[in-house]
Structure 1
Amino acid sequence: MAFGAPRARMVNPRLGTYFSIFAALYTALFLLVLIFEQLRLDDHLLRLAIFAGPILIYGAMGLSVATNETLCFFAAGRRVPAAYTGLLLGASALGGTLIVAGTGMFFFTGFDALVLLIGTLTGFVIMAIALAPFYRKFGAFTVPSYLGRRFESRTLRVVTAAVAAVPMLLVLSAELQMGGSVAQRLVGGSENGLICLLALTIAISTMAGGTRSSTWSGVAQSIALFLALFTVATTVSVIVTSLPIPQLANGPMVRGLVRNEVNEGLQLVNVWPLAFQLPPDGFSSLTKPYTQPFGAIGPLAFIIGTFAIATGISTAPWLLPRVAAAPGVYEARKSLGWATVFSGLALLTISSVAVFMRDFTLDAVRAERLGPLPQWLFQAAANHFVAFDQAATRLGFEGLKFDRDSVLFALPVAVGLPSTFVYFLLAGALAAALVTASATSVSLAAVLGEDVVQGMSWEPPSAQNRVWVARGFIAVVAICGAALSIAAPTDPLRLVLWALSITGASLFPAMILSIWWKRLTVGGAIAGVIAGFVAASFAILMSEMGTLSTPSPIAGILGLPVSLGLALMTSLMRPEASRHALSIVRDMRVPGGEIIYDREMQRLQLRKHART
């Protein structure tokens, strides 16, 4: 199957129109809720409308692109334009956890939260340069399928599937927890019940079309996220600074924070080089100036954390297979450029939100402030965003505690905007959690169906069986993710960082060496994947038990040198690369031409027909 001249005709030319209609509908819903709020319509109905309306649209979009074709179900027909792939990659990499908890991390740790920004963008750059074009040329639906076919090893395929399932379950659990928490703030009710509702929504909206459904509903969810985030941040920026670019307008405010925060009692904090103090899940007070570097994360931990996030993002098994849906290698490269732009804008925006909130907090605790406490503090306390002694006449930084996962939603309250802006942000954060949870569920279901059930056989099953097995696993994965979130609730930010560390330690060396070092053997790849996973898991466990001094969010990446070293030594001891594997590597490094995975599947299918 060649993908050459007809590439332009493969892409639906009406996609821009469809998603423009969605953006218009979403904006109209926001404006209607804003109008009805001014008319004093029941607040619960407004919350329910902005919660249920978008979810119904996401579900309808997922069901409308149902398919039973293998290529469409597992790779969206390989016709997703670069801009949409990049938008989806950027939103899926951040998710609700890094948007919501990341805002709190910028608010509490200031400069040190740049580890999220630098790590994420570096990960996309590594993916764009070293992995994505070659993975797209190979064309495998999952990372275990790629490694299995690259080395012609069923064992490696199953081992990689088992290893990759762990970080994907961690990410799914984190996003469902964050989504349930956000949904509870929006409509009330039981958080566990809302987690089950979100899992049901994911299953319904993605089972019909698999990757195709998650792609197009995910693009709509990504649009909802960025619309909410940019609209609120830009509105606040205009009100506070008279400039409509929040990512740049907070510069003068940061210069004021440097001096005033120290004068009001925030002193410079010294931490040891390996410190990695994340703001806890819950209420905390500010302890360090915003611009102080390495006051919560030490310089060595900052470097290790950046490396852990970058390696995890670049080889994430719920992100990397997305490039296989691009129409060609050139589009795969371009999609990573768009992903870098969108994720960078989102992270810069939440950092500006943190600066604005710091400024309002400084105004509330300022010693020379006259009169009663600002009214927004009482409204924020009523919404459980802030906790303080409401009988006090003067507050210090230690007396004002913010919920880490509420900093983003407290900004419209601090500015005095209508409650609809808070609901709009909540709906956007919920969309971010859904897009990552959906992408993870579909990718994990494909791994279970393709690489576990069919992992010990190269015989391709019928197209109907492949699709229905994966479709069933989507429901199973959604249920398991909800059960894990309810049974073992853990800080979502910590779960995501664990997942990225485990992914980087176990999969990054094998993926990089499989492309750039022809002498890597099957034994070396298996040893590297297993050793990296075991070392990363052991390091995280020891850190949580207190027997390892390295903080657990970055401890997992200590398994990467173990994985790399064992893969190199095992390959050098027993060089056994086959001629076919070497020809695959040479073919994979040529950007154009036939997709290798499709060619291999066609060859196996012909053998099967010849025998029968």
Structure 2
Amino acid sequence: MPFSHRTGYVNPRLGTYFGIFMSAFVALTLLVLILEGLGVSDSTLRLAMFLGPIAFYAIIGLAAYSSEPIDYFAAGRRVPAFYTGLVLAQTALGATGLVALTGAFFLIGFDALCIVIGGLAGFVVMAVLLAPFFRKFGAFTVPSYLGKRFESRALRLVAGGILAVPMLLVMAAELRIGAHAAVWFYPMPSGLAVMLLVTVIVLTLAAGGMRSFAWSSSAQSIAALIALLVPIAIVGVIVTNLPLPQLSSGPVLRMMGRAEAAQGLPIILPPALAFDMPGEGLAPIAKRYSDAFGSVGPLAFVIIILTLLSGIASAPWLLPRVAGTPGVYEARKSLGWATFLFGIAMLTIASVAIFMRDYLTDLVTAVGQVRFPEWFDALRERGILSVAGDGRPTLSSFNVSRDDVLLSLPIAAEMPAALVYLAAGGVVAAALATAGAVALALGNILAEDIVYGLSWSPARTGPRLIVSRLALGTAAAVAGLIALAAPTDPLKLVLWAVALTGASTFPVLVLSIWWKRLNAFGAVAGMATGFGVTVLAIIAGEAGLTGTDSALAAAIGLPAGAVATIAVALATPGPQKTLLELVRDIRVPGGEILYDREMRHQRRKKAQRT
């Protein structure tokens, strides 16, 4: 069976362009290393490593200016599978995943694998159940797809309003983590750092929309990967003589496990629904690294995997990315790249946690009097690390800041300051990429599904793009205000967001493709029920009424949304024959993009009326 035809030609010089970017980025880092060796002031080094990459991203975004809707909303449908997969892998959990998960691995060990497994499973489910069919339909946003799939303007508006909430939570989390990394460059107020990131996002993306985002976020994702892989590879060579820490961290973990047993770190047996994920600020090393189910109970482990699976598979800031690929085959291929690159990143942050924990283990297992090295005092002066008690320190007496473990490893390895700033710049790049992805998706929803949501006929190009650019700026500004006004743990914000997305959207999206009987009434009921029940479960969990963590809210909301979707659909009249034919067309990979065909028909009708 033939796959859908390519809608545009991929630029054959893309590899050259991004090769030039990587060369410039590496050259900047090497130049800063040379300047550091020559004794140039630290403030100059910070300025170069902070503003230099941001200037690269802004130039790429501005150079991708677009004046056509297909370019602004779908990057002309010419983004290759690798670049789409690269950005999907980076923006799934974003800087929050890189930073907070590294600290979680460091503090609670393998219990943090529930989030990693959930993310990988989410990409697999997206590739099998959703992405190829969403690409065949070709809608620019998830609400646009749902509205047109069920011929319901009300559903389109409801979906837009519901999905705005988790997207704002993700943006607020990313802006807070990005601001935290920016403070490593300059001791500026966090509010100023947040607004600076918001300004960079708007300036980078407003010119070309999805086209600007496709190429600027690819550069940001490359920079984030380089910043993540280079320092840990150097540490791997120092500790194990191998530059592959993902493979060489095993022997280090075995030796560290024996030291943890000698230090008396406890083996914890928590309740089945326990979910004691480390929060912001200083926290003790809770348990042995390799012991499973110490901070996260077995049932909670499964629930978080299912929550991440459903939330990432149906995420409205991830799924529309596949609409920019040249065809259905490339959409499937992009999810393969996303799964591979996401797995590499997660293996790397686990290695960072192991090596950083090994450095601390070496201190407490040394023979004779414990003498803290200079790097330890430097981290303690920054408030990243503290020691409880006055006697000989043990592993359990260390308190470490979860969100600073990733950036502390280059300091512990006594690397040049330029590599510390490289790691911090990678976190900023990841935050810009993820926050930009969500801001653009939310801006498109506000413009296409809220402002113009009562009409299927596409608006005139000029006003349509102006409204979209204003909506992008509005979404980024509101998220910045939320990040300042509601200082909640970024990791918790992301877990709430994926719980809300999975409970409200995942059942409806899957059934809209695989169950022809589903109608608009069932879709509205399912989204509203899943969202409402999950919100109530989050509030009850935060208030301590349920005795379970609020991150487990989707355990109630997801089945409630699925049951409501099916029950209401069966209790109301079935869909029309035209909608049944639409479902059949969605399932066939060959043929014209359905959304583009419908918009062309709408423009033709409008021309006939005028």
TM-score (norm 1): 0.97
One-letter amino acid of the structure 2 residue matched with residue 136 of structure 1: R
Separation in 1 of the partners of 2:418 and 2:391?
30
What residue in structure 2 maps to residue 252 of structure 1?
A: 251
Measure how far apart 1:262 and its partner are. Answer: 1.7
Secondary structure in 1 matching 2:406: helix
Q: Is the 8 A contact 1:206 1:442 kept in 2?
A: yes
Measure how far apart 1:180 and its partner are. Answer: 0.7
Gap runs ≥5 in structure 1: none
Measure how far apart 1:437 and its partner are. Answer: 0.3
Separation in 1 of the partners of 2:229 and 2:19?
17
Q: Is the 8 A contact 1:282 1:403 kept in 2?
A: yes
Deviation by residue 1:274-295 (Cα, 9 ceiling, x = unmatched): 0111111001111200011000
One-letter amino acid of the structure 1 residue matched with residue 518 of structure 2: L
One-letter amino acid of the structure 1 residue matched with residue 180 of structure 2: S
Separation in 2 of the partners of 1:518 and 1:227?
46
Secondary structure in 2 matching 1:185: coil
Separation in 2 of the partners of 1:131 and 1:371?
56
Superposed, which structure 2 residues align to 1:377-456 within 5 Å?
Answer: 377-388=376-387, 394-456=392-454
Q: Is the 8 A contact 1:373 1:394 kept in 2?
A: no
Q: Is the 8 A contact 2:282 2:399 kept in 1?
A: yes
Superposed, which structure 2 residues align to 1:128-527 within 5 Å?
Answer: 128-366=127-365, 368-370=367-369, 372-388=371-387, 394-527=392-525
Deviation by residue 1:341-374 (Cα, 9 ceiling, x = unmatched): 1111000000000010111111122264545223
Greater Cα shift, 501-510 or 467-476: 467-476
Deviation by residue 1:168-227 (Cα, 9 ceiling, x = unmatched): 000000000111111011222111101101000000000010111111100000000001
Measure how far apart 1:550 and its partner are. Answer: 2.2
What residue in structure 1 maps to residue 583 of structure 2?
A: 585
One-letter amino acid of the structure 2 residue matched with residue 601 of structure 1: M
Q: Is the 8 A contact 1:93 1:313 kept in 2?
A: yes
One-letter amino acid of the structure 1 residue matched with residue 115 of structure 2: L
**Count of aligned pairs:** 609
Does 1:537 pair with 2:535?
A: yes
Greater Cα shift, 63-72 or 454-463: 454-463
Deviation by residue 1:139-191 (Cα, 9 ceiling, x = unmatched): 00000000000000000000000011000000000000111111011222111
Greater Cα shift, 31-40 or 146-155: 31-40
Q: Is the 8 A contact 1:80 1:325 kept in 2?
A: yes
One-letter amino acid of the structure 2 residue matched with residue 505 of structure 1: A
Separation in 2 of the partners of 1:517 and 1:556?
22
One-letter amino acid of the structure 2 residue matched with residue 126 of structure 1: V
Separation in 2 of the partners of 1:287 and 1:484?
31
Q: Is the 8 A contact 1:3 1:594 kept in 2?
A: no
One-letter amino acid of the structure 2 residue matched with residue 117 of structure 1: V
Deviation by residue 1:14-40 (Cα, 9 ceiling, x = unmatched): 111111111111111111111111122
Separation in 1 of the partners of 2:571 and 2:299?
34
Secondary structure in 2 matching 1:244: coil
Greater Cα shift, 391-400 or 553-562: 391-400
Secondary structure in 1 matching 2:469: helix
Separation in 2 of the partners of 1:38 and 1:512?
57
Separation in 2 of the partners of 1:71 and 1:53?
31
Secondary structure in 1 matching 2:553: helix
Deviation by residue 1:251-306 (Cα, 9 ceiling, x = unmatched): 11111122210211211112111011111100111120001100000000000001
Q: Is the 8 A contact 1:124 1:314 kept in 2?
A: yes
Greater Cα shift, 498-507 or 252-261: 252-261
Greater Cα shift, 253-262 or 361-370: 361-370
Q: Is the 8 A contact 1:82 1:338 kept in 2?
A: yes
Measure how far apart 1:392 and its partner are. Answer: 5.3
Separation in 1 of the partners of 2:3 and 2:596?
11
Secondary structure in 2 matching 1:507: helix
Measure how far apart 1:397 and its partner are. Answer: 2.4
What residue in structure 2 maps to residue 117 of structure 1?
A: 116
Q: Relative to structure 1, is the Cα distance of residues 525 and 555 closer, same or farther in structure 2, using a 3 angstrom cutoff?
A: same
Separation in 2 of the partners of 1:304 and 1:318?
22
Q: Is the 8 A contact 1:505 1:533 kept in 2?
A: yes
What residue in structure 2 maps to residue 63 of structure 1?
A: 62
Runs of 4 or more off by more than 4 Å in structure 1? 2-7
Separation in 1 of the partners of 2:390 and 2:217?
46
Secondary structure in 2 matching 1:544: helix
Separation in 2 of the partners of 1:558 and 1:397?
38
Q: Is the 8 A contact 1:61 1:216 kept in 2?
A: yes
Q: Is the 8 A contact 1:264 1:367 kept in 2?
A: no
Q: Is the 8 A contact 1:270 1:294 kept in 2?
A: yes
Measure how far apart 1:573 and its partner are. Answer: 1.4
Measure how far apart 1:3 and its partner are. Answer: 9.5
Separation in 1 of the partners of 2:123 and 2:552?
19
What residue in structure 1 maps to residue 76 of structure 2?
A: 77
Separation in 1 of the partners of 2:483 and 2:5?
47
Gap runs ≥5 in structure 2: none
Separation in 2 of the partners of 1:62 and 1:3?
31
Separation in 1 of the partners of 2:372 and 2:605?
78
Secondary structure in 1 matching 2:87: helix
Secondary structure in 2 matching 1:402: strand
Cα RMSD of the aligned pairs, angstroms, is 1.5
Q: Is the 8 A contact 2:521 2:568 kept in 1?
A: yes
One-letter amino acid of the structure 1 residue matched with residue 51 of structure 2: A
One-letter amino acid of the structure 2 residue matched with residue 240 of structure 1: V
Separation in 1 of the partners of 2:397 and 2:5?
66
What residue in structure 2 maps to residue 604 of structure 1?
A: 602
Q: Is the 8 A contact 1:506 1:563 kept in 2?
A: yes
Measure how far apart 1:442 and its partner are. Answer: 0.3
Separation in 2 of the partners of 1:3 and 1:191?
49
Q: Is the 8 A contact 2:4 2:589 kept in 1?
A: no
Q: Is the 8 A contact 2:519 2:574 kept in 1?
A: yes
Separation in 1 of the partners of 2:203 and 2:151?
35
Separation in 2 of the partners of 1:369 and 1:332?
59
Identity %: 48
Deviation by residue 1:44-70 (Cα, 9 ceiling, x = unmatched): 110111000111111111111111100
What residue in structure 2 maps to residue 89 of structure 1?
A: 88
One-letter amino acid of the structure 2 residue matched with residue 388 of structure 1: V
Secondary structure in 2 matching 1:186: coil
Superposed, which structure 2 residues align to 1:556-567 within 5 Å?
Answer: 556-567=554-565
Greater Cα shift, 246-255 or 256-265: 256-265
Q: Is the 8 A contact 1:286 1:401 kept in 2?
A: yes
Q: Is the 8 A contact 1:79 1:325 kept in 2?
A: yes
Secondary structure in 1 matching 2:283: strand
